Amino acid sequence: LVEEFAQGPFYGSTIMGNEVIAISSAEFGPPPHFVFREFTFPASLSAEENERLADLSLSCLRALGLGWGPTCIEFRWTKLGPVVIEVNPRLGGMPDPQLIQLAYGIDVITEHIKLVIGEEWDVRKGRSQAAGVRFMVPDCDGTLDWIAGVPQAAALSGVAEVKVYAEPKTPIARKGDYRDWIGHVIAASPTVAQTEAILRRAFELINWSITPVGEQEALAGALGSQQPDS
């Protein structure tokens, strides 16, 4: 399978039925992998760009015979315009629903359940905020020694959640996807710029240490050589 590489900013649309709820943006780590580093609701787009992605999203639904229930669609905005990467007939994975609730006051999980059981559902926005998540991504394999600064980051104004997925002594073996994450910080504020500033400040407070695999082996060998003869 050979596919053209679509280069440009990443955006995603969240839809319920034929209602486009939100357009988000995302940042990746370095190639060749596509490990998400950050999501933001809403994306920093002009009204015209936002409308173009919303129209393209609905065109995807019509082309694929969708239009019932939730859909999340991924795009890259290339020099030739927006290119569809994926159309997923489901809600976006966590923490998308949490970010949407923080940004717009819409509980998309509850509204999806209402739709499934035949109740009236409503995805009208109850507020207009900017919500974002930034993930903790290790830069090497090895063993996690410690993560510090979590309480301090959680205490920052605007931080909604700090979650760590890995305990000390957890082996770190990067896969080049979401399984590389060892934690995240979620924040919300009135503007995208303010939310990004809160996330930056939170990550300035959080630190972690990983002993790389090679250093582990060297340390084990050194300790072994120091054992007294029996």
List pLDDT tens digits, range 81-113. Answer: 999 999 999 999 889 999 999 999 999 999 999
Mean pLDDT of 18-43: 94
Which pLDDT score, from 0 to 100, does residue 212 have? 94
Domains in the chain (CATH in brackets) are 10-128 (3.30.470.20), 137-218 (3.30.470.20)
* pLDDT score of 189: 98
Residue 168 near residue 146, CB atoms below 8 Å? yes
How much is the pLDDT for 228? 59
State the DSSP H helix or E strand holding residue 223, giving kind and residue range, or none if neither: helix 213-225
Residue where the block lists tokens 């054992």: 227
Residue 25's CB is within 10 A of a number of other CB atoms, namely: 19
Q: In the chain, what's the furthest Cα-to-Cα distance? A: 78
Residue 50 tokens, joined: 């936002």
Q: Which long-range contacts (CB under 8 A, 24 or more apart) does 60-65 make?
A: 60/84, 60/87, 61/15, 61/18
Helical pair 108-116 and 96-104, crossing angle rounded to 10 deg: 100
Q: What local confidence, expressed as pLDDT, does residue 130 receive?
A: 98
Residue 215 pLDDT level (bands cut at 50, 70, 90): low
List 37, 52, 90, 179, catalytic entry: 90
The answer to whether residue 90 is catalytic is yes
| Residue 73: Cβ-neighbour burial (10 angstroms; 0-12, 13-18, 19+) | buried
What is the reported pLDDT for 115? 95
pLDDT at 229 over 80: no
33: tokens are 């992998």
pLDDT, mean over the chain: 93
- pLDDT, residue 214, reads 73
pLDDT of 227 higher than 70? no
- Is the pTM here over 0.85, yes or no? yes
Instruction: Decide if pLDDT at 201 tops 70.
Output: yes
What is the distance, to the nearest Å, from the Cα of residue 180 to the centroid of all Cα atoms in its chain? 12
Q: How far apart are CA 206 and CA 63, in angstroms?
A: 45
Length of the chain: 230
Q: Please tell me which residue, 52 or 221, carries the higher pLDDT value.
A: 52
pLDDT (0 to 100) of residue 31: 86
